Amino acid sequence: MYSKRELELLVISDVHLGTYGCHAKELLHYLKTVNPKTLVLNGDIIDMWNFSKSYFPSSHMDVLRHIMKMASHGTNVYYITGNHDEMLRKYTDLHLGNFQIVDKLVLNLDGKKAWLFHGDVFDASTKGYAKFLAKLGGKGYDLLILINRFINWVLQLFGKEKMSFSKKVKDSVKKAVSFVSDFETTAAELAIEKNYDYVVCGHIHMPQIKEVITEKGNVTYLNSGDWIENLTALEYDKGVWDIFHYDKHYLNLIYLNDTTKQEDVVSKILAS
């Protein structure tokens, strides 16, 4: 037996189930170690842009099964639609027990208001003709991740450090860096205008927690990252936000029936 960590809120996004880049096994491993009161799936959980009947492994289905199991056991699950799962927007406001599909969400967290949405509304590449190019780019990105995994496997055989092609491309392209900055600024400014304390997004695959201050006020901007490269989630409990970074060694320790050791390991991981 093992003790699951109790959380008030857990936010994950950009899982992209149905693609080669998705780390479904790692995500399932993590989800089995936590017991959140509320789970927010902040968009692009199922990648319907790249969905193929020939590729949807059992590990990907296991993630969906576990999420529905969490809902049946009392966790409030909100599925916020993103651009890759936009087809679900026709079912907005669908309510099945503890499971809901929404386009955006406002939660009260210890007297403070949190505004949660995926963030594709700020991305012109998901609209019109550019959407076709974005879908094409998504398939290329998935192939790049697959090639990257093979190369990392070879590097590990020779005791070399892993590398990420897509991260290097993103970090080296000034336009991409500028887009991320503009995205965060726009989300924060809108949240300040609406008098929210927190604004929580996904979409750009960049985990982040930072305070944004403007002439009109301030807000905490948060991004849950993704389960393609970063393997991150946002955790909120006892008034504190943290970015969780997946670490299989830490998760293996969670399975030990030693609460003191678990809490010590958790604090070290979150502080790193």
Q: In 10 A of CB 179, how many CB atoms?
A: 17
Number of folded domains that form the chain: 1
- pLDDT (tens digit, 9 = 90+) per residue, 171-191? 554 455 566 778 899 999 999
Q: Regarding beta strands 76-80 and 34-42, do their DSSP bridges make them parallel or antiparallel, or are they unpaired?
A: parallel
Calpha distance 225→15 (Å, rounded): 9
Range of the domain at 83: 5-271
Residue 173 burial by Cβ neighbours in a 10 Å radius (0-12, 13-18, 19+):
exposed
Residue 241 sits in a domain whose CATH number is: 3.60.21.10
Q: Which helix (H) or strand (E) holds 81?
A: none
Tokens of 55: 């590729």
Tell me what pLDDT residue 112 has: 97
34-42 sheet: strands from edge to edge: 95-96, 99-102, 76-80, 34-42, 5-12, 232-237, 240-245
How far is CA 115 from each of CA 175, 186, 191, 234, rounded to the nearest angstrom?
27, 14, 7, 14
Q: What is the pLDDT of residues 82-131, one digit of tens each?
A: 988 889 999 999 999 999 999 999 999 999 999 999 998 875 444 444 44
Helices marked H in 158-258: 165-172, 174-193, 248-254
What does the pLDDT read at residue 122?
A: 74
Query: 207 near 233, Cβ under 8 Å?
Result: no
Rounding to the nearest 10 degrees, give the CA dihedral for residues 29, 30, 33, 39. Answer: -130
SS3 226: coil
Per-residue pLDDT of the chain (272 residues; tens, 9 = 90+): 457 999 999 999 999 999 888 999 999 999 999 999 999 999 999 988 777 667 889 999 999 999 999 999 999 999 999 988 889 999 999 999 999 999 999 999 999 999 999 998 875 444 444 443 344 445 556 566 666 766 676 667 778 777 665 565 555 544 555 667 788 999 999 999 999 999 999 998 899 999 999 999 999 999 999 999 899 999 999 999 999 999 866 666 554 444 444 455 555 445 54
> In angstroms, rounded to a whole number, what is the distance separating the alpha carbons of residues 266 and 260?
10
Token digits of residue 197: 């304390």
Q: What is the CA radius of gyration of the chain?
A: 18
- What is the rounded distance in angstroms from the CA atom of residue 144 to the CA atom of residue 192? 38
